[in-house]
Amino acid sequence: MMTAISSPFSLAGKRILVTGASSGLGRQIAISCAQSGASLIICGRNVERLQETLSQLTGEGHSVIAGDLTDDDVIAQTVEQAGSIDGVVHCTGISVPMPARMTKREFMERLYSINVFTPQLLTAQLLLKNRINKDGAILFLSSIAAVRGVHGMSVYSGTKAALIAATRCLALETAKRGIRVNCLAPDLVETPMLHGSGANMPTEEWLDQQRAIHPLGLGTPDDVAHAAIFFLSSASRWITGTTLIMDGGITH
Ligand SMILES: NC(=O)c1ccc[n+]([C@@H]2O[C@H](COP(=O)([O-])OP(=O)(O)OC[C@H]3O[C@@H](n4cnc5c(N)ncnc54)[C@H](OP(=O)(O)O)[C@@H]3O)[C@@H](O)[C@H]2O)c1
């Protein structure tokens, strides 16, 4: 008789909260976590797109929480509804290029509110209410822009660098509870974020140039989801406070 060997990369039996799950990386991370055996709590603002993500989740026990996470009441409601979890992946974020000379206070406040305050305040409430189980994992989405210069991204890069710094400190605070904290720093990944409208958004011509200069091309949402599974699973049980750079080999 064959004995089943459980993989350290499995998420079977785990409950994972994914923010920004109505699109791009968050959606794919939710789908891949469900394929690895987890039940998901998925968050975002757009109910229709959240339902679309929900319809792609295999397995059972998934739920949806809709709302704007820059609102403290929505954070409180999310923590309440999530219940006990084994992991959280913070994919909520916006990326808006802006020439440094055009930067205004309102623009900075919006980016910092969504990219920094939201993941850190949600994490704070999850820890305060003891929602994250022992051996649980917290995962932030930073960016390559936090570690190397990217034209027009001085504000965005600051928001993403803040998450790398916070990861190191949080990891020290949560280690005694057996909770790990890590961060992913991807370069360009083909998601709706790259194809938005607006004066400063990347052109298709620029994206083609980027595809050509990255030794392994640009990333896919699957690439990032596979790394997320590693950091959520017991395969990474000895890793905390770290940031994984994922850039197709352009930083060498
Ligand atoms: N794509 C890349 O190349 C890349 C590279 C490096 C890092 N990242 C980072 O990875 C994360 C995900 O990026 P992505 O490419 O998946 O972007 P995306 O496709 O634009 O998705 C962003 C997600 O954030 C959610 N969101 C935005 N503001 C929110 C708010 N106030 N409250 C609640 N949810 C909010 C959106 O929800 P709704 O649509 O429902 O509003 C959406 O689900 C971001 O932090 C980004 O900075 C992306």
Kindly list the structural domains of the chain, giving each domain's residue range(s) and its CATH number in brackets, ordered by start: 15-246 (3.40.50.720)
Catalytic residue among 41, 79, 119, 156: 156
pLDDT digits (tens, 9 = 90+) for 121-160: 999 999 999 999 999 999 999 999 999 999 999 999 999 9
Taking CB atoms and a 6 Å cutoff, what residues make up the pocket around ligand 1?
20, 22-26, 44-46, 49, 68-70, 91-95, 114, 141, 143, 186, 188-189, 191-194
pLDDT of residue 1: 58
Output the CA torsion sign for 132, 245, 37, 82: positive
Q: Which band of pLDDT confidence, cut at 50, 70 and 90, is reported for residue 198?
A: confident
List, as one string, the DSSP characters of 104-135. Answer: -HHHHHHHHIIIIIHHHHHHHHHHHTT-EEEE
Task: Tell me the backbone φ, ψ of residue 55, rounded to 5 degrees.
Answer: -70, -15
Q: Which band of pLDDT confidence, cut at 50, 70 and 90, is reported for residue 251?
A: confident
pLDDT of residue 104: 98
pLDDT digits (tens, 9 = 90+) for 232-248: 999 999 999 999 999 99
> Does the annotation mark 112 as catalytic?
no
Query: Cα of 94 to ligand 1 centre, how many Å?
Result: 5
Average pLDDT over every residue of 180-204: 87
Query: Cα of 142 to ligand 1 centre, how many Å?
Result: 11
Q: Is the pLDDT of residue 62 over 90?
A: yes
Least Cα distance to 139 among 42, 38, 65, 241 occurs for 241
Which residue's CA lies nearest to atom 11 of ligand 1?
Answer: 91
Cα–Cα distance for residue pair 210/191, rounded to 1 Å: 15
Query: Cα of 123 to ligand 1 centre, how many Å?
Result: 17
Residue 102's beta-bridge partner residues? none
Query: Cα of 225 to ligand 1 centre, how many Å?
Result: 14
